[in-house]
Amino acid sequence: MPNPTAKILDGKALAAQFKEDMQQEVQHLVASYGRAPGLAVIIVGDDPASHVYVKNKKIACEKVGIKSFSHELAHTTTQEHLLGLLAELNRNPKVDGILVQLPLPAHIDADYVLKAIASHKDVDGFHPYNVGCLAVRQPELRSCTPYGCMKLLETTGVDLHGKEAVIVGASNIVGRPMALELLLAGVTVTIAHRFTENLQAHVERADIVVAAAGKQGLVQGSWIKQGAIVIDVGIHRLEDGTLTGDVDFAEASKRAAWITPVPGGVGPMTITMLLANTIQAFRTHVGDESTA
Ligand code: NAD
């Protein structure tokens, strides 16, 4: 029996709920430790989309009471200067989390820079140490987008053990850590990438599809298995200003049981997990063992 409409995995609503809880949590932490968790945000250059992302992250911090320290650097900033700033922030006791907004200008080696962030302050969860911890089933600071996707999957109430997942995209920041998250949750995982042959055949057998290739409409609705869960990480701005994803939402939602919208799905959860990671880094920093 076809599902006329899939249930929406509402990232916006879930994020709002998380933020409300985090606001309370931060109030308790301030009362106990005399300061709020601090997040340093570094942006290099004038990429308009990156500036919007950074602004949204700062607003989200304010909303839950996290203090944000902004570092807006010119496009011409040298790698050496950036590394010097990171060394300072790594030492700064008021800074619990450090985020370097990507992409960085071409003259800066992003992989090298990300490794220069102290792993216990790496609230984006991109440092090889943190990705490695996830790989060996001892997660510490988890990559925000996959972490947010897992929180969305949890809300379905579906037992993930033994399910077949296909992740479309194998980047360091989404596809690969997403595979590790799903593996940790007992899912059988396939990672598709630009060299994968017959993507359709892979997607057609998936109980869970995570689309993160950055290719608008790559995943066709007719490929989706009846009753699958579809998580669309892709974000594309159309000429009329509207946002869309990697999945053909209208067709896919006729077959899926659950689906994330774009916007309002994965995006709000990514920012929310950044806040959660900052609070977690603060707790580790101050030696707080309790949970809120
Ligand atoms: P990326 O370009 O770094 O990686 C894309 C991956 O997709 C690569 O591994 C590539 O091999 C694979 N790919 C490309 N074409 C493919 C094809 N035809 N079939 C299968 N795989 C293919 O991108 P990224 O940084 O991982 O981002 C992916 C998308 O997710 C983008 O649209 C980005 O804007 C979005 N994104 C959203 C959030 C969010 O919070 N919602 C966060 C991060 C990224």
Centre of ligand 1 to C-alpha 236, Å, is 11
**pLDDT class of 289 with cuts at 50, 70, 90:** confident
User: Which tens digits make up the pLDDT trace of 193-238?
Assistant: 999 999 999 999 999 999 999 999 999 999 999 999 999 999 999 9
CB atoms under 10 Å from CB of 121, counted, come to: 25
Q: Indicate the pTM of the whole model.
A: 0.97
3-state SS assignment for residue 73: strand
The reply to whether 19 belongs to the active site is no
The reply to whether 200 belongs to the active site is no
Asked if the model's pLDDT at residue 292 lies above 70, the reply is: no
Of the listed ranges 46-55, 116-125, 136-145, the least confidently predicted one is 46-55
Of the listed ranges 2-11, 67-76, 280-289, the least confidently predicted one is 2-11
- Mean pLDDT, the chain, rounded, equals 97
Asked if the model's pLDDT at residue 54 lies above 90, the reply is: yes
Among 63, 71, 17, smallest CA distance to 44 is for 71
Q: Which element (helix H / strand E) includes 20?
A: helix 11-33
Centre of ligand 1 to C-alpha 31, Å, is 41
The reply to whether 101 belongs to the active site is yes
Q: Give me the catalytic one of 124, 232, 246, 248.
A: 124
pLDDT confidence of residue 101: 98
Centre of ligand 1 to C-alpha 284, Å, is 31
Strand duo 67-73 + 188-192: pairing: unpaired
pLDDT confidence of residue 290: 72
Enumerate residues lining ligand 1, CB below 6 A.
145, 168-171, 173-175, 192-194, 196, 199, 212-215, 218, 233-235, 266-267, 270
User: Which tens digits make up the pLDDT trace of 75-84?
Assistant: 999 999 999 9
Asked if the model's pLDDT at residue 267 lies above 70, the reply is: yes
pLDDT confidence of residue 3: 57
The DSSP secondary structure of the chain, one letter per residue, reads ---SSPEE--HHHHHHHHHHHHHHHHHHHHHHHSS--EEEEEEES--HHHHHHHHHHHHHHHHHT-EEEEEEE-TT--HHHHHHHHHHHHH-TT--EEEEPSPPPTTS-HHHHHHTS-GGGBTT--SHHHHHHHHTT--SSPPHHHHHHHHHHHTT----TT-EEEEE---TTTHHHHHHHHHHTT-EEEEE-TT-S-HHHHHHT-SEEEE-SS-TT-B-GGGSPTT-EEEE---EE-TTS-EE-SB-HHHHTTT-SEE--SSSSHHHHHHHHHHHHHHHHHHHHHT-----
